[in-house]
Structure 1
Amino acid sequence: MSSAHRFATQAIHAGAAPDPATGARATPIYFTNGFVFDSTEQAADIFAMRRTGFSYSRGSNPTVAALERRVAALEGAKAAVAVSSGQSAVLLVLMTLMRSGEAYVASPRLFGGSLGLMRRLDGRYDLKPQFAAGLDPADFEAAITPETRAIVCESIVNPCATVVDIAGIAEVARRHGLPLVVDSTLASPALIRPIEHGADIVIHSTSKFLGGSGQTIGGMICDAGRFDWTRPGRYNLLNEPWPDYDGLVVTERFPDFPFAVACRLFGLRDLGPGLSPMNAFLTLTGIETLPLRMARHCANARAVAAHLKDHPAVEWVSYPGLPGQPGEELANRYVPQGPGSIFTFALKGGEPAALRFIAALELVSHLVNIGEIKSLAIHPATTTHRQLRPEERAAAMVGPETVRLSIGLENVEDILADIDQALAQAA
């Protein structure tokens, strides 16, 4: 597949081709856990990483590999590794980057599940998050210490829709010789391609916009292939010999995408969160319509956010795609199409009104996922962000009075009608 093809063409064709055995145009679902070897020499070579090939579907599978190639192409990455969930992707990135006692600078605004994982890894394995005081590049730089091994942020913050200055943070990362890890789940590559703004690693929960239909769980790690991992005393899984692979040094054997290889060896072969080929197939199918869906998602979300902003029952709306909203300049710079379809708003009646609103919704589903073709709502303070302290929930704009919406692809007039009738009942 030519890299010269434009985004929508790559969303349909990248990473796949007609099946050479049968001529099937759709990517086959290779529902097998193992693969027959041609010889004992081939088997040994594959297990020793002396040659590529399929051996066991936990580590690699042809259907999953097609998805990895497609997402890598859409992100402009050298390679990608698919895993069983977005949470697994975050876990594998952090554990591949660091040993116990090492640290990373993290955005103060992240998905609640990511924050919970970071605190658990800190308490149990001494992988230390150093939270920046704010979202400005200078805040990230101020948090760097000699123990820091990476910077981690989201491209669009879940759930308040704030757009992050990726290029500014990437410049900080480069000055300090650190890789920048960007969770771009809320943007998808249709809105933001973080590698083009300086990111070194991009993470996705494919359960959201990439899949699109709320059918599957999956995650993706994309390696830009340009960070210099060879600094002495750091990144031992990439720089030091693996005794169980005949002394393999990943940066020497795979210089174009060493981080992806390290994630596959440690993450998939050792820890084991592989992606099902059926989930890979459904995600491949979903990606084919990604650019069309994202345009409709953004248009619908902007209309709903504008409607809520002017509603007398609403205290505030956090959607920087609206004129005069905080973060409008960054949103215009990075996502002129719109900052996605997930955002928060607060009801003047506080938590009781927020809960009544959600209970009264009929078309919009009360559901914890985001990025689906169906519109969804949740109360973050008691669900996705419940583990945060009250002051942290307030800073993340997910206080008790707050509702998170994920706007889908329905006719926007029907979405607005459902929201209005629910607001009337919540008053």
Structure 2
Amino acid sequence: MTRPAVLGFATRQLHAGADSADPHRPRATPIHLSAGFVFDDFDEAHARFAGSADGFSYTRVSNPTNAAAERRIADLESGAGALLVGSGQAAVAVTLLSLVSAGDHILASPSIYEGTRELLRDDLSRLGVHTSFVSELNNLAAWEAGIRAETRALFAESIANPKNELLDIAGVAAIAHGHGIPLIVDNTLATPYLLRPIEHGADVVVHSASKFLAGHGTVLGGVIVDGGRFPWDAQATRYPQLAVDRGADGLTRVERSGAGAFLEQARHVAMRYGPTPSPFNAFLILQGIETLSPRVQRQSATALRLAQWLESHPAVASVDYCGLSSSPQRRLAEHYLPRGHGAVLSVTVHGGRDAARAFTDALGLFTRMTHLGDTRSLVLHPASTTHVLRGETELAAAGIGQGLLRLSIGLEDPEDLIADLDQALTVASEAEILTRAGVR
């Protein structure tokens, strides 16, 4: 049977990367729960380790189930290849450790997941890699001014956590490329169904596959997708590990792997540091991807409806969601997000922390937990959880007040979610009245 040359997204999320060579012809990708794989003979063992033969040797390096997930995600993201790792934080760490050395610099968005911010600010700085953050997400002049001679990567999120801020990917990519530097984009909240950063100029995309890709809140996983277009050899002195340093075969990574040089470097970094996902997790991620588009489409539609409803509620001070007509990023959203604006939004209730506490505790359908992209709707208070180590000045600069709550919208009926929010906002309003009266 001949397949069409160009397949739609929904078709590819079911079929891309399938192994047609498996003699048993399983319909679902098998779970290869094996630490290692048998070599036919002495010479094959040598060839696998030397990289001169295809196949698998040890699951810490690669595994057939993991490889199937890598092929499918790379296809959906319009990438040249992908690497599956143990978590989203592992994806960020492995990507950056593949590119930087002591003395290097990373320029990052001010609007990123707090765990990533701490990795950049605290952990990499101990290794001699310094990070600065631009003052405004889409101030292209600030991105330009922030680049130094030692800058090795620009890093941002396509849709930022927790306030649904949208990155001007093409604008920032143009600045990065003007300086011979790659742009790395965390695309977790957008997913490849809503937005594919590589198509807009990004060079590397990372995901927390634990979120929307897996979709059910059951597993951890991360993925790195390489666009395969960045000219590493043209920037040899910046990236000697790719284009200068020679291996035992006398070749650089670029000479050995061509367009796949970065991904091979990342695989070796991951192999040494060990953030290898279980093949069982890879299987569950593949299962989740099969329903990615209908899930994200429905979640995004519900999120927009809830954002519009919340914006008109008297107990609500503000709503951050780029799909709203009132959003300052509405024009960017029309360009980058024609299929929907994501399932994560933030809402700030009147009355500060006391009202936020009352609102959170009164919710019945929203689950109180630190996660995103679940089939169930979730709620979290960033100022007291993910951002708890920031002082009030830093929180204010980030626009994260004591009354702000992050909502991740699931697959429940919108009417039920609105009813739950409505009764919780009533409780929050009562708490605000008591606070103003000095009762609390």
Name the % identity: 46
Aligned amino acid, residue 238 of structure 1: L
Task: State how far apart, in whole Å, the 1-side matches of 2:238 and 2:424 are.
Answer: 54
The answer to whether the Cα contact below 8 Å between 1:18 and 1:27 also exists between their aligned partners in 2 is no
Query: 2:214 matched to 1:207?
Result: no
Task: State how far apart, in whole Å, the 2-side matches of 1:236 and 1:406 are.
Answer: 41
Task: State how far apart, in whole Å, the 2-side matches of 1:43 and 1:240 are.
Answer: 28
Task: State how far apart, in whole Å, the 1-side matches of 2:221 and 2:22 are.
Answer: 27
| 1:274-311 Cα shifts (integer Å, max 9, x gaps) | 11101100010110111111110111000111111011
Q: In the TM superposition, what is the alpha-carbon distance from 1:52 to its structure 2 partner?
A: 2.6
The answer to whether the Cα contact below 8 Å between 2:158 and 2:189 also exists between their aligned partners in 1 is yes
Aligned amino acid, residue 83 of structure 1: V
Match of 1:216 in 2: 219
Task: State how far apart, in whole Å, the 1-side matches of 2:48 and 2:394 are.
Answer: 47
Task: State how far apart, in whole Å, the 2-side matches of 1:226 and 1:381 are.
Answer: 39
Aligned amino acid, residue 176 of structure 1: H
Task: State how far apart, in whole Å, the 2-side matches of 1:247 and 1:37 are.
Answer: 26
Corresponding residue to 2:240 among 236, 241, 251: 236
Corresponding residue to 2:35 among 25, 33, 36: 33
Task: State how far apart, in whole Å, the 2-side matches of 1:60 and 1:358 are.
Answer: 43
Query: 2:1 matched to 1:7?
Result: no
Structure 2: give runs of 5+ residues left out of the alignment.
430-440
Q: TM-score, normalised by structure 1?
A: 0.97
Task: State how far apart, in whole Å, the 1-side matches of 2:43 and 2:124 are.
Answer: 43
| 1:372-402 Cα shifts (integer Å, max 9, x gaps) | 1100000111111223332332233322111
The answer to whether the Cα contact below 8 Å between 1:18 and 1:24 also exists between their aligned partners in 2 is no
The answer to whether the Cα contact below 8 Å between 1:17 and 1:25 also exists between their aligned partners in 2 is no
Q: Where does 1:64-213 land on structure 2 (aligned, <5 Å)? A: 64-135=66-137, 136-213=139-216
Query: 2:374 matched to 1:362?
Result: no
The answer to whether the Cα contact below 8 Å between 2:19 and 2:68 also exists between their aligned partners in 1 is no
Match of 2:260 in 1: 257
The answer to whether the Cα contact below 8 Å between 1:372 and 1:408 also exists between their aligned partners in 2 is yes
Match of 1:379 in 2: 381
Task: State how far apart, in whole Å, the 1-side matches of 2:341 and 2:131 are.
Answer: 27
The answer to whether the Cα contact below 8 Å between 2:352 and 2:401 also exists between their aligned partners in 1 is no
Q: TM-score, normalised by structure 2?
A: 0.94
Structure 1: give runs of 5+ residues left out of the alignment.
none
Q: In the TM superposition, what is the alpha-carbon distance from 1:240 to its structure 2 partner?
A: 3.2
Task: State how far apart, in whole Å, the 2-side matches of 1:158 and 1:250 are.
Answer: 34
SS at match of 2:303: helix
Residues 228/329 of structure 1: CA separation in 2 closer, same or farther (3 Å cut): same
Residues 114/3 of structure 1: CA separation in 2 closer, same or farther (3 Å cut): farther
Match of 2:438 in 1: none
Residues 361/247 of structure 1: CA separation in 2 closer, same or farther (3 Å cut): farther
| 1:287-343 Cα shifts (integer Å, max 9, x gaps) | 011111111011100011111101111110001101121211111111122220101
Match of 2:418 in 1: 416
Say which one has the larger Rg.
2
